[in-house]
Chains A and B, each alone.
Chain A
Amino acid sequence: MHSDRYTPPSAPSPPDPDIVAISMRIDTESDVAAICRAVRALAERMAFSRSAAYSLATAASELATNLLIHAGGGQLQVAPLTGMRTGIELLAEDHGPGIGDLALALTDGYSTAGGLGCGLPGVDRLMDLCDIDSVPGHGTRVRAVKWR
């Protein structure tokens, strides 16, 4: 009962056409909701646990709202990572005023724009990795990764 077609033992499965990177310009609150849904759908397709998918969606929502409130808009990129470990990377970039004091911005309860002051520290806790690059006057880049 052997099939006559030889299949190598470790044939890589073909890439899923639904697992693709997303890049979105965030200019309005409805963009925030859209990116949030897209991130959750991607996480679910990549077989993340439900709680991880919700953490990712919440972190994306947080980063996107930050783009809107602090920089008047920016670009949010979502990339599936499929190397040694499976994960999802969120990259938020803006050309806003930048973060004057990074340590302070990561302190719970600190907010410059009337938020609850737990946006960035919240993202830091929800995600496995969180790097912030900011040049005052030029913009901010936040990169956050969650592993499956």
Chain B
Amino acid sequence: MKIPILRLGRILLVSIQDDLTDNDAMQFQSDLVERVAEIEALGVAIDITALDVVDSYMARVINDTACMVGLLGAEVVICGVQPFVAMTLIEMGRDLLGANCAFNLEQGLEILNRRIATRGDIHIDEDEDD
């Protein structure tokens, strides 16, 4: 299963719909870092609204992906953690999801845009023209 990576200006959107196999996860991570580097993405929103069971392995994949993207210099936000996912993740152990979270994609994009704006090193409008 290939995860589509959507581009919105210099922000990338990915939505994880299903449990990922090890190979899927690796493929997804390499696709994403490549794309981030290619367009020098300023932000990435990872949407997990469709996941209703997240075990420690899945949490690790999400976390690792967020860290990789962060290392490249992009802002990351995880959107749509389901209520019961939040409960079980905390029950299993703290810090399973370390990155910033938002209710939904819309709020996630707002957070990304705000954070990108406060970085102050990039002018989005200028870059979007080319």
**Do A and B belong to a common assembly?**
yes
A positions within 8 Å CB-CB of B: 28-30, 32-33, 36, 40, 50-51, 54-55, 57-58, 61-62, 65, 69, 108, 115-116, 118-119, 121-122, 125-126
Residues of chain B with a CB closer than 8 A to A118's CB: 56, 92-93, 96
18 interchain pairs, CB-CB under 8 A: A29-B21, A36-B19, A40-B53, A54-B85, A54-B87, A55-B91, A58-B53, A58-B55, A58-B88, A61-B55, A62-B55, A65-B57, A115-B57, A116-B60, A116-B63, A118-B93, A119-B57, A126-B91
B: which residues have CB within 8 A of A?
A: 18-22, 52-60, 63, 84-85, 87-88, 91-93, 96
Give Cα A50–Cα B54 distance, bound, in whole angstroms: 15
When distances are taken between beta carbons in the complex, the residues of chain A under 8 Å from B21 are 28-30
Q: Are A36 and B53 neighbours in the complex by a CB distance under 8 Å?
A: yes
Residues of B near A29 (CB, < 8 A) are 19-22
Q: With A116-B59, A121-B93 given, can you name 12 additional A-B contacts, CB distance below 8 Å?
A: A32-B19, A33-B18, A50-B84, A51-B88, A54-B85, A54-B87, A58-B53, A62-B57, A116-B56, A119-B57, A122-B56, A126-B91
Chain A residue with the shortest CB-CB distance to B63? A116
CB distance from A60 to the nearest CB of B (A): 9
Cβ of B54: which chain A residues have Cβ within 8 Å of it? 58
- CB pair B56–A62 under 8 Å, yes or no, is yes
In the complex, are the beta carbons of A125 and B56 less than 8 A apart? no
Provide the bound-state CA to CA distance between A62 and B58, in Å.
10
Considering the chains assembled together, what is the distance between the CA atoms of A32 and B53 in angstroms?
11
Decide: A54 near B84, CB < 8 A? Known: A40-B53, A65-B55, A122-B93.
yes
Q: Tell me which residues across on chain A come within 8 A of B19, comparing CB atoms.
A: 29, 32-33, 36, 61
- Complexed CA–CA distance, A121 and B55 (Å): 12
Closest Cβ–Cβ distance, residue A52 to chain B (whole Å) = 10
Residue of A with least CB distance to B60: A116
Cα A119 to Cα B89 in complex, Å, equals 11
Instruction: Report the bound CA distance from A54 to B84 in whole Å.
Output: 7
Nearest A-chain residue to B53, judged by Cβ: A57
